[in-house]
Amino acid sequence: MIGIYDYTVILTYGNAVFSIIGMYYALHQNILAGIICLIFSGICDMFDGFVASFKKRSKSEVCYGIQIDSLADLISFGVFPTVLAYAAGLTQGIYLPLFVFYILAALIRLAYFNVTEMERRDSQNKKREYYEGLPVTSSAALIPLLFFLCGRFQFSFPFLYPFALLIIGTLFISKVKIKKLEPRKLAAGLFIGTIIAIFMR
């Protein structure tokens, strides 16, 4: 079979699998299960690079890892949030331009990151310290946070969600510089915050 199937990409595949399962749940009106799947997609994405670093990979393996990671991210953090929106009741045609914008912004952000990441790897060996534009993985934290806050304080999630997608999508393609944080700390914080939010809901 073509492709790579070792431990260096297993979490990347898990990222995509969780989002596909989450879309299934969301479209069957289990929004909470969909949100939890989005969180686990984010955790997989935060750790995949860390796990891959344990193996000395060839250039083709590195390039494959970069490409497959972005393709999985497009599904999980580009398409999946718009499916959540549709499942939450935003089915009117007025929201279609917003969905197109959000997915396109995620696509552009990921493609731009791939180009700059490959250029960085060719010119230097040090790790990336800053991201240009909001990383798409951030939606795995921001969207669940909005969902749980709406539940906690009795706000309308379908009313606020379009504004969140617009802001997040705009930040994807902005030139704002964001410091890269330790993925393990981000994942731990996301997981703990989710558990607390579920019990608070």
Amino acid identity for residue 48 in this structure: D
Distance, CA of 5 to CA of 19 (rounded, Å): 19
57 lies in some domain? yes
Q: Which structural domain, as residue segments, surrounds residue 34?
A: 10-200
CB 61 within 8 A of CB 120: no
Distance, CA of 65 to CA of 60 (rounded, Å): 8
pLDDT for res 76: 97
Structural domain count of the chain: 1
**80: its two tokens:** 């999946």
Sign for the pseudo-dihedral over CA of 20, 22, 27, 28: positive
pLDDT for res 166: 97
The SS3 call for residue 130 is strand
Supply the CATH number for residue 184's domain. Answer: 1.20.120.1760
pLDDT for res 72: 96
Q: Which residues contact 13 (CB under 8 A, 6 or more apart)?
A: 68, 72
Q: What is the CA radius of gyration of the chain?
A: 17
pLDDT for res 48: 85
3 lies in some domain? no
CA-angle at 17, arms to 13 and 20, nearest 5°: 140
The SS3 call for residue 198 is helix
Q: What pLDDT tens digit does each residue of the chain (201 aa) get?
A: 888 888 889 999 999 999 999 999 999 999 999 999 999 999 898 888 778 777 788 888 888 888 999 999 999 999 999 999 999 999 999 999 999 999 999 999 999 988 887 777 667 666 666 778 899 998 998 999 899 889 888 899 999 999 999 999 999 999 888 777 665 556 566 666 566 555 555
**59-to-54, 56, 118 alpha-carbon distances in Å:** 15, 10, 10
CA-angle at 75, arms to 148 and 139, nearest 5°: 30
CB 120 within 8 A of CB 66: no
4 lies in some domain? no
194 lies in some domain? yes
H helix runs in the chain, sequence order = 10-27, 31-52, 59-73, 80-87, 96-123, 139-153, 157-172, 183-200
